[in-house]
Amino acid sequence: MIIVTTETISGRNLQTLGFVTGNMVQSKNAFKDIGAGFKSMVGGELVSYTKMLTEARDIAIQRMIQQAQGMGADAIVAVRFSSSSVMQGAAEILVTGTAVKFV
């Protein structure tokens, strides 16, 4: 599955199939939250949160791909990501795009 942030794929004619999404809400356990709280006082990367968001992003992308494959897509164009805090220590990653077929 080709995934691009552009609205076209060079050298390909595309037929639009529709809007596709994938999302994931992920949280860390209380012990990692406490450790991250201490780290935020002194500064630096919150590694456990970086890993959490990377995992959530990867799962969201896979869900979007599955939806596009169900539509018979060859690619997903105009891919965009957003994130939001759902609650203390939990974040949602949302990925959207347009499923297309090569013609």
Distance CA 33, CA 89 (A): 7
Query: What domain range is 14 assigned to?
Result: 2-102
What is the predicted pLDDT for the residue at 36? 52
36-90 pLDDT per residue, tens = 555 455 677 777 778 888 989 999 999 999 999 999 999 999 999 999 988 877 8
Distance CA 74, CA 3 (A): 9
Give the mean pLDDT of 23-30. Answer: 79
Does the pLDDT value for residue 7 go beyond 80? yes
When divided into structural domains, the chain yields a total of 1
Give the mean pLDDT of 23-34. Answer: 71
Question: What is the reported pTM?
Answer: 0.83
DSSP letters, 67-102, are HHHHTT-SEEEEEEEEEEEEETTEEEEEEEEEEEEE
CATH of the domain at 87: 3.30.110.70
Give the mean pLDDT of 20-28. Answer: 91
* Long-range contact pairs involving 54-59 (C-beta distance under 8 Å, separation at least 24): 55/24, 55/26, 56/24, 56/25, 56/26, 56/91, 56/92, 56/93, 57/24, 57/81, 57/93, 57/95, 59/22, 59/24, 59/26
What is the predicted pLDDT for the residue at 88? 75
- For tokens 């869900």, the residue is 63
